[in-house]
A and B are shown apart, each in its own frame.
Chain A
Amino acid sequence: MSSDLKQELKEKIIEQLNLEDVTAAEIADNDPLFGDGLGLDSIDALELIVMLDKDYGIKLADPKEGRKIFESIATMAAYISANKA
């Protein structure tokens, strides 16, 4: 799987979610994005769903689907690679 995509996702997440004090280098591919990891919450999950749609053409109908996809940068990248339009 492309490490470019992972790097791109890190940068996009920082920008989209306004994570001013975080750098891409500080986010490890397998770090949890929610809860104890990056500390994202349910509103961030909705923001990420919009990002999937806008930037990768992937539509999620049910926000619950996001939980598994957004576990980490690695899971997100894998999902995008498999489902990209």
Chain B
Amino acid sequence: MKEVFVNSIGSVSVQKTFDTSGFLDDLVDYEGTSVKAVDPNYKDFIPPAAARRMAKGIKMSAVSSQNALKEAGLENVDAIIVGTGLGCLGESEKFVRDLLDNDEQYLTPTRFIQSSHNTVAGSIALDMGCKGYNFTYVHSNISFESSLWDAKLQLQNNEAENILVGAVDELVEHHVTTHQFIDHIKKEPVSMKQVLRSGTKGIVFGEGSHFFVMSNQKQASTYSKLIGMGIYNTLANSEVSHTIMAFLEKNGLCKEDLDGVILGNNGDVDYDTIYHDLETSIFKDIPQYVYKHLSGEYDTASGFGFWMANKILKTGKVPELIRWNDIKVTQPKRLLLYNQYRGKNHSLVVLEKC
């Protein structure tokens, strides 16, 4: 079986991550219950004729995917695999609103076309002229991990050499408001520095797009090697630490082999306890990092976590604001990412410096 590498990264997020040179050194603070992505100058990436029909998710992904391709030195890939919880939700929401408000009259096709979940993967393929394998995963907060898993399978079996793997979701008002009704999103505004210790129900909603070139060939731009992955639709709280230990063992690792864990804490008092249990038990002696205060929470926020892990491994730097405990390691070599949302769809990813 071939090894699997992350050869490049691209990001548009709540932070200025579209600037590929920096690493969270100029943070964007907020005070709210939802937080939008910082827009790059889309015109630098998308011709006006193409941009006129692009939903925000497509625009963000045009930028992050182009940055990833550029860094990998590629013009085309063998496959495009995208994860998205809700696709270009803004357009779907507008289409439903138009439908209801106008009694099913005078509806236009553009919004409907963009509301198809696979519109981002399709749009990138169209733009690049990529006729290869094209997939879209839409399973809540493991949408991105499903994409990674698929890419890993193909690269290990040498069915592809370079795969563009992405993750994208948009922030939409109707979604935010309705999810505030049911306490999935916070009702009271919080700031970036408070959110993870807010002690209130729900999360701060964000948005973003992350793309990576995954390959079975290592090159100068390579960030990391993907060692192992696990996906579990449900786990009882009491099963989480045992599952993680079994996962490490299956991948020939023990917790002492980890130089850090990147946790998906999102500030929801009801569900962060799952992370807290680990912080004080199996991960007690390991550097702990968090990121969702920087990215906001959304179905593919773990794409931001994956982006950050790769930055850490390549640069050897750990920004102060992501430290969650006091344990420090210089030049981390191996990181475990663990994420879940509302106690469901748990994912584990191990990345190694190379």
Contacts and interface: CB of A to CB of B under 8 A. Distances in A.
Contact of A50 (B51, B53, B106, B113): B106
Contact of A46 (B105, B106, B109): B109
Contact of A19 (B52, B105, B109, B110): B52
A43 B53 contact: yes
Contacts, number: 26
Contact of A47 (B48, B105, B108): B108
B49 interface: yes
Interface of B: 48-49, 51-53, 105-110, 113
A3 interface: no
A41 to B, nearest CB: 9
Nearest to A40: B49
Interface residues of A, number: 13
Given A19-B52, A47-B109, 6 more contacts: A21-B48, A43-B53, A43-B110, A46-B108, A53-B106, A54-B105
Interface string A7-25: 0000000001111110000
Nearest to B106: A54
17 contacts: A18-B52, A20-B48, A20-B51, A21-B48, A39-B49, A43-B53, A43-B109, A43-B110, A43-B113, A46-B109, A47-B109, A47-B110, A50-B106, A50-B108, A53-B105, A54-B105, A54-B106
Contacts of B51: 20
A43 B51 CA distance: 14
